[in-house]
Chains A and B, each alone.
Chain A
């Protein structure tokens, strides 16, 4: 259960050469959103698009495949995607909105759908939520610090950033620089320390790189909606699949990392409770499964 409830777990990647070239991992997010747009399963998608500043994302409502593609790739800093959902529905008049969310954003959306106190005629317009894995996120100034100060790389020259194999990777046109992920500790945003969800357990379809070889993605298909869309995308040839390795570099690794994220978070949650600080989650003694996202 550390990976949440899912109907299917698999590896996959986009079959589109262009998407393969611009995406972070297997291009699953971009492949699914562009497919859903083309098939009119959604009439727009909220993505972390570009802003005036390099590597600082700005949530946008993408209406075309080109706009979805322009947002491909991971930006390791906060993009408040949920913010523009209302814009998508009210200003753009969308009826079926797709969105890409990190786990905590997925949680905000799902809570709003179950308890839409002040949110009018929006809950049922979210047609597809693609969740991405997330271990932690960084304030923009943190990111700047370790790209510029620590690694000594000019922000504007960075072509890709990635976290994997215990390292933070920075790719420029001529260089591949890395430093141990440990060195980013202390720079992550604080709210992440109580986060119990690595794999976007509440999304329709979730995807990440952990457990997959380079340029492939691990995918969990979760809800009925997710299952329908995923099957269509695979049948149409937008995504190709291969089974996930059960062993050390596959499912085992994903399970291990999800579990260790939860264990760390539970420790902080229990400590906070002991200090009388607020936390929205139950303490480990208050729940049946101490690692559940409750």
Chain B
């Protein structure tokens, strides 16, 4: 996996720290621009909207650093080309043969496949679908893309924040594998929900009542009662963010020290 990402980035050793402007320009000059595709399955477009909120880096990114070679409304192509990296937004509906086919083809044609946003990564709120609705009552079963194809890297969030997207872009440009490692690990986290806090933190004698989960929940499904998270199932969209942000689920110590200059 690591080798594959490094190859994609066209670098053997890990280069320097943050992307200085010169560095970014150098990368842009020296390398062929990575060919990026965007596959939009059953998601609400929130993920790409969040990406586009990075106004400050977007212009540079799109004009000089990457080439968008595939994507509805993003590129005027019908045939899916070979891609270095494909971002997949949305879960995949098993009854929708076009979606299934597009996903399979994306896996075949892309070097790296990123589950972008919680719908792609965990299924998120599409997990609740039971079919029987217009416009296609037959569309019933929505699963995270990892159920059908190998996912190299997941960026969950409903939607992922503009900041995490910017950080991922910078890490990819810098070949900063340490930063991306948790997202490689998260590719396997496909069954998520607020109850993970109970199963994986509280039941495991790890919860310390910090409240980070309840702060992070994007739907206010969590509150804190007697120092422990309390889930309102009716509000939970199964995005997995609460568990991912919990300081007791995984702990990126080295990165934090580096970010703080400690």
Chains A and B are bound partners: yes
Which residues from chain A sit less than 8 Å from chain B, CB to CB? Answer: 4-5, 59, 77-78, 80-86, 104-105, 107-121, 123-124, 137, 139-141, 189-195, 201-202, 222-224, 277-281, 292-294
- Specify the chain B residue showing the minimal Cβ separation from A223: B260
Most buried by B among A191, A292, A293, A294: A191
Interface residue from A108, A113, A224 paired with B211 (Cβ < 8 Å):
A108
Contact of B248 among A59, A141, A191, A223 (CB under 8 A): A191
Closest CB-CB distance, A97 to chain B, in whole Å? Answer: 12
Extra contacts, 11 of them, besides A78-B209, A111-B245, A116-B163 (Cβ < 8 A), are A5-B262, A81-B211, A107-B210, A111-B247, A118-B244, A120-B163, A191-B206, A193-B205, A223-B261, A280-B250, A281-B251
Once the chains bind, are A191 and B244 in contact (CB under 8 Å)? no
Q: How far is the CA of A280 from the CA of B262 in the complex (A)?
A: 20
* Cβ-closest chain A residue relative to B212: A108
Does A83 lie within 8 Å of B211, measured CB to CB? Answer: yes
Interchain CB contact under 8 A, B244 and A104: no
Q: Which residues of chain A have C-beta atoms less than 8 A from B262's C-beta?
A: 4-5, 201-202, 222-223
Q: Is A294 in contact with B251, judged by CB distance below 8 angstroms?
A: yes
Evaluate contact between A5 and B257: CB separation under 8 angstroms. Answer: yes
Q: Are A84 and B215 in contact, CB atoms less than 8 angstroms apart?
A: yes
Min CB gap B70→A, angstroms:
26
* Alpha-carbon distance A41/B208, docked complex (angstroms): 30
B208 contacts which of A84, A104, A222, A279 (Cβ < 8 Å)? A104
Bound complex: CA of A137 vs CA of B226, how far in Å? 13
Interface size on B (CB < 8 Å)? 52
Q: Is B164 an interface residue (CB 8 A)?
A: yes
Q: Are B210 and A119 in contact (CB under 8 A)?
A: no
- Would A118 and B161 count as touching, CB distance under 8 A? yes
Is there contact, CB below 8 Å, between B261 and A114? no
Task: Kindly name the residue among B207, B208, B252 whose own CB sees the greatest number of chain A CB atoms within 10 A.
Answer: B208
A104 CB contacts on chain B under 8 angstroms: 208, 210, 247
Q: Would A202 and B256 be within 8 Å (CB), given that A117-B161, A117-B164 are in contact? A: yes
Task: Tell me, rounded to whole Å, the shortest Cβ–Cβ distance linking B116 to chain A.
Answer: 12
A278–B210 Cα gap in the complex (Å)? 18
CB-nearest residue of chain B to A89: B215
Are A108 and B164 interface neighbours, CB within 8 A? no
B245 CB contact (under 8 Å) in A117, A124, A141: A117
Per-residue contact bits, chain B 64-96, to A (CB 8 Å; 1 contact, 0 not): 000000000000000000000000000000000
CB nearest to B245 among chain A residues: A112
Nearest A residue to B225, CB-CB: A80
* Stretch in B26-34, B130-138, B150-158 with 4+ CB within 8 Å of A: B150-158
- B residues near A (Cβ < 8 Å) are 50, 118, 155-158, 160-164, 167, 182, 200, 204-212, 214-218, 223-224, 226-227, 239, 241, 244-257, 259-262
A82 near B211: Cβ-Cβ < 8 Å: yes
Contact B252 A115 (CB under 8 A): yes
Contact B253 A191, beta carbon cutoff 8 Å: no
CB distance from A207 to the nearest CB of B (A): 17
A118 touches B157 (CB 8 A): yes
Q: List the A side residues contacting B217 at CB < 8 Å.
A: 118
Residues of A within 8 A of B255 (CB): 114-115
Inside 8 A of B256's CB, which chain A residues have their CB?
110-111, 113-114, 202
Which residues on the A side are within 8 Å of B249 (C-beta)?
A: 280
Cα distance A293–B256 in the bound complex, in angstroms: 11
Residues of A within 8 A of B182 (CB): 115
Contacts of B158 in A (CB 8 A): 118
- The interface residues of chain B lying within 8 Å CB-to-CB of A294 are 251, 253-254
B63 to chain A, nearest CB (A): 25
| Contacts A108-B247, A117-B157; A140 near B226 (Cβ below 8 A) | yes
- Choose among B50, B204, B218 the residue that contacts A278 (Cβ–Cβ < 8 A): B204
When distances are taken between beta carbons in the complex, the residues of chain A under 8 Å from B206 are 190-191, 194, 278-280
Per the bound structure, the CA–CA distance linking A30 and B244 in Å amounts to 32
Chain A residue contacts of B241, Cβ below 8 A: 117-119
Shortest Cβ distance from A85 into chain B, in angstroms? 5
With both beta carbons as reference points, the residue of chain A lying nearest to B217 in the complex is identified as A118
Contacts of B208 on A, CB cut-off 8 Å?
Answer: 78, 104, 137, 189, 191-192, 195
CB of B163 within 8 A of CB of A108, answer: no
Contacts A/B (CB < 8 Å), 11 sampled: A78-B208, A83-B215, A109-B212, A111-B252, A114-B259, A117-B160, A120-B163, A121-B161, A192-B208, A194-B206, A278-B204
A105/B211 in contact, CB under 8 A: yes
Please, which residues of chain A bring their CB within 8 A of the CB of B259?
Answer: 110, 113-114
> Bound state CA distance, A189 and B202, in angstroms?
11
Asked if residues B251 and A116 are in contact (CB atoms below 8 Å), the reply is no
A80 proximity list for chain B (CB < 8 A):
209-211, 214, 224, 227
In angstroms, how far is the closest chain B Cβ from the Cβ of A126? 11
CB neighbours (8 Å) of A107 from chain B are 210, 247, 251
Q: Which residues of A have CB within 8 Å of B205?
A: 190-191, 193, 277
